[in-house]
Amino acid sequence: MSVIDWRQAASNLNLRKQAFIGGKFVDAVSGGVFDAINPANGTTLAQIASCDAADVDLAVHSARKAFDAGSWSRRSPTERKKVLQRFADLMHQHGDELALLETLNMGKPISDARSVDVPASANTIAWYAEAIDKIYDEIAPTGSGALGMITREPVGVVAAVVPWNFPLLMACWKLGPALAAGNSVILKPAEQSPLSAIRLAELAAEAGIPDGVFNVVTGLGETAGKALGLHMDVDAVTFTGSTEVGKLFMNYSAQSNMKRVALECGGKTPHIVMADCGNLDEAATAAAYGIFFNQGEVCNAGSRLLVDAKIKDKFLDKVIAVGKTLTVGDPLDAATKLGAMVSQVQMDRVLDYIDIGSKEGAELKSGGKRVLSETGGYYIEPTVFDNVSNKMRIAQEEIFGPVLATISFSGAEEAVALANDTIYGLAAAVWTDNIDVALSTARRLRAGSVWVNNFDESNITMPFGGYKQSGFGRDKSLHAIDKYTELKATWIKIRA
Ligand code: NAD
């Protein structure tokens, strides 16, 4: 579709603005609202219900009631599968609309929203739907006097608190396994990007998910998010967001009912290029897309480029050249590769880091500025620093923008030491033509995902999550089911 078609489609949208609790759209109890902003031009798209503890309480009550009633939690896995498959089909059918909501609300290029976010989200729901009636429980090797059953049960009421960078996909990484396993879910989207989540709830209801099983509370982190974290009747929190807020959820749990917490937090991914890398053009393209995709607003963005000093200058020239081909512009234009930063706050934060990098003595090689300010939108050009030391703030702190910090090293030993010298451990990548270097480096990197001779390739069959302060617990793959199930040991004596 052309930019004109997308704009037309945007003007025809009927935006849902309320929370979705117990199968109904509702205003916040307080009547409060907050603005959903279009970061491409700074205008207000809609005023959204600003939920707080009172609304969270209603949502938890409704989720618990549905869970206890068993209309979902005790339905057979095969029946849940059918409903979730319908849900995934509806997401595909409404793909243009969901992509548009995502782009309008958080600024990512519509071509990515349509070809990556929406299909990956729908496929996640479909994959867990397909999986759930193929998972067997266990019988323990007890001997003849007893039957030891090890069964999985849904954990109960799950709160899913998600960020704004992939609003739909992060929600579906939680919803897929949580709903498939029979839980009731309360989704809290980020306040910057609530629109797609609200529409998702409506599609879920249309697919046949019973009232109360899937609720959406829209609201601010410090009110709605905190109330979920502290609620005495939430059994588990599944969170994706910053490390700082992740730690708060551990506190909330400790202060309340010791609810389970699973955290997917920040990252500072090292992207290592060894001197023997045989295809520097391919690696340079991967390095550029690895940091500039989604405006750099990616938890596993390859924000630290570690390059062997022997090839650094040549390699960096190639990365910069690729960066210059990436058009920054209107997210509704199919030619755009970098859209708008999610908010003015985020844009200012990234510009501050660019300033900090220069003041710390790093060399700004490319980009570094806000662009297209006449649109009222929050755009930043692809930015590359050279001569960065791993001790600098731009090498240690998560910037969450299109800013690459290049650090040189001599040999694999130093590369691994630098790569691991971070509080984070979400992902890492290494490019080399030597199989021994590839395997030994991959083993020594302290990160939940490691890519060899590629960057960020994966699919739903692989787990995703962090080491160290990138969090714990895993999204995606069958391992994600562990977060949403309890293990019950039932020992039955056999008297005969
Ligand atoms: P954030 O931590 O500010 O917000 C995440 C969610 O937490 C939002 O829904 C927000 O409303 C809520 N929240 C904020 N403050 C809260 C509080 N005091 N109490 C309770 N809830 C609160 O993160 P963000 O800015 O939305 O997203 C960016 C962060 O997400 C980055 O750090 C990024 O690395 C991380 N992220 C991680 C992954 C991963 O899988 N590891 C994926 C995507 C994003």
Residue 78 CA to ligand 1 center (angstroms) comes to 34
Taking only the tens place, the pLDDT of each residue in 313-346 is 999 999 999 999 999 999 999 999 999 999 999 9
Please give the average per-residue pLDDT across 301-323, as a whole number.
98
- Give a three-class secondary structure readout of the chain: CCHHHHHHHHHHCCCCCCEEECCEEECCCCCCEEEEEECCCCEEEEEEECCCHHHHHHHHHHHHHHHHHCCCCCCCHHHHHHHHHHHHHHHHHCHHHHHHHHHHHHCCCHHHHHHHHHHHHHHHHHHHHHHHCCCCCEEECCCCCEEEEEEEEECCEEEEECCCCCHHHHHHHHHHHHHHCCCEEEEECCCCCCHHHHHHHHHHHHHCCCCCCEEECCCCHHHHHHHHHHCCCCCEEEEECCHHHHHHHHHHHHHCCCCEEEEECCCCCEEEECCCCCCHHHHHHHHHHHHHHHHHCCCCCCCEEEEECCCHHHHHHHHHHHHHHCCECCCCCCCCCECCCCCHHHHHHHHHHHHHHHHHCCEEEECCCEECHHHCCCEECCEEEECCCCCCHHHHCCCCCCEEEEEEECHHHHHHHHHHCCCEECEEEEECCCHHHHHHHHHHCCCCEEEECCCCCCCCCCCECCEECCEECCECCHHHHHHHEEEEEEEEECCC
Determine which one of 172, 297, 299, 381 is catalytic: 299
The CATH number of 3-265+471-488 is 3.40.605.10
Structure tokens at 226: 């905190």
Return the best residue to mutate from 299, 342, 344 for the ligand 1 pocket (most ligand atoms within 8 A of CB): 299
Taking only the tens place, the pLDDT of each residue in 11-23 is 999 999 999 999 9
Numbered ranges of CATH 3.40.309.10 in the chain: 270-459
**Considering Cα of 19, then 247, then 378, then 289, what sign does the dihedral take?**
negative
Please give the average per-residue pLDDT across 262-276, as a whole number.
98
Determine the atom of ligand 1 nearest the C-alpha atom of 426.
Answer: 41
Q: Which residues of 269-306 are buried (b: 16+ CB within 10 A; e: fewer)?
A: bbbbbbbebeebeebbbbbbbbbbbbbbbbbbbbbbbb
Residue 23 CA to ligand 1 center (angstroms) comes to 26
Give the relative orientation of helices 95-106 and 195-207 as an angle to the nearest 10 degrees: 160
Please give the average per-residue pLDDT across 484-493, as a whole number.
98
Residue found under tokens 């451990």? 425
Q: What is the pTM of this model?
A: 0.98
For residue 233, the model assigns a pLDDT of 99
Taking only the tens place, the pLDDT of each residue in 340-376 is 999 999 999 999 999 999 999 999 999 999 999 999 9
Please give the average per-residue pLDDT across 101-118, as a whole number.
98
Please give the average per-residue pLDDT across 408-435, as a whole number.
98
Position 496 pLDDT exceeds 90: no
Cα angle, residue 357 at apex, residues 352 and 360 outer, rounded to 5°: 120
Determine which one of 97, 264, 297, 398 is catalytic: 264
Question: CA 361, CA 480: separation in Å to the nearest integer?
Answer: 43
Taking only the tens place, the pLDDT of each residue in 82-104 is 999 999 999 999 999 999 999 99
Numbered ranges of CATH 3.40.605.10 in the chain: 3-265+471-488
Position 415 pLDDT exceeds 90: yes
Pocket of ligand 1 (CB under 6 A): 161-165, 170, 188, 190-191, 221-222, 225-226, 229, 240-242, 245, 248, 264-267, 299, 398, 400, 426, 466, 470-471
Taking only the tens place, the pLDDT of each residue in 452-464 is 999 999 999 999 9
Taking only the tens place, the pLDDT of each residue in 213-229 is 999 999 999 999 999 99
Q: Which residues of 248-260 are buried (b: 16+ CB within 10 A; e: fewer)?
A: bbeebbeeeeebb
Q: What percent of the chain has pLDDT over 90?
A: 100
Q: What percent of the chain has pLDDT over 70?
A: 100
For residue 18, the model assigns a pLDDT of 98
Name beta bridge partners: 485: 154
For residue 171, the model assigns a pLDDT of 98
For residue 192, the model assigns a pLDDT of 98
Name beta bridge partners: 149: 139, 490
The answer to whether 172 is a known catalytic residue is no
Class of 270-459 in CATH: alpha beta
